[in-house]
Amino acid sequence: MAALGSPLRTLRGLLRELRHASARAGRPYRDTPAYQHVMAAFRAHRVTSEKLCRAQQELHFQAATYLCLLRSVREHLALHHEYHGKGERSPREVAGLVGFRLPQQPGGKGWDP
């Protein structure tokens, strides 16, 4: 069984991602079916003693997987916005991507009027 850490941590992460997702659509996240489903599932499968509960483990794995999905999609989208699909870059931006700066000529270039 994979090491997943504490379920509460997973739940917090999930709620954070759901908040991000519904902020994109501009509505309160507590009204979304996803929030209600996640909360209901976590409440229903709370264990009070330290027994190993296979069903809870399975649910926790599912929650962690969903968290990974939401987080990766958000990060992927952010990177996509940053670097892709914007057409051709200016020479200055291209130089910046690989850590260079275009040379500066204090008095203007020779052929400039």
Partner 1 sequence: MNDLVTRGRATRASTPPRPPSVLIRSGNWGGNNLALTALFLFLPPERKRFYQNVSISQGEGGFEINLDHRKLKTPQAKLFTVPSEALAIAVATEWDSQKDTIKFYTMHLTTLCNTALDNPTQRNKVQLICAAVKFLETDTICYRVEEPPALAELQKNEWDPIVAWAENRYNVAIGSSTSITGPNIPASTKDTFISHLASYNMWALQGIEYVITQLKSLILSMGLIDRHITVEKAVLLSRLEEEYQIQRWGSVEWAHDYDLCELRARAAAGTLFVHLCSESSTVKHKLLQD
Binding site for partner 1 (CB under 8 A): 1-4, 18, 21-22, 24-27, 32-34, 37, 41, 53-55, 57-58, 61-62, 64-66, 68-69, 72-73, 75-77, 79-80, 82-84, 97
Distance CA 41, CA 56 (A): 10
In the complex, the smallest distance separating the C-beta of residue 69 from partner 1, rounded to whole angstroms, is: 4
In this complex, which beta carbon is closest to partner 1, that of residue 84 or of residue 109? 84
In this complex, which beta carbon is closest to partner 1, that of residue 33 or of residue 113? 33
Distance CA 69, CA 14 (A): 10
In this complex, which beta carbon is closest to partner 1, that of residue 12 or of residue 36? 36
Identify the CA nearest to 7 among candidates 32, 36, 29, 38.
38
What is the identity of the amino acid at 56?
Answer: Q
Going along 23-73, which residue ranges are E strands? none
In the complex, the smallest distance separating the C-beta of residue 20 from partner 1, rounded to whole angstroms, is: 8
In this complex, which beta carbon is closest to partner 1, that of residue 68 or of residue 102? 68
In the complex, the smallest distance separating the C-beta of residue 80 from partner 1, rounded to whole angstroms, is: 7
H-run or E-run covering 2: none
Distance CA 40, CA 22 (A): 19
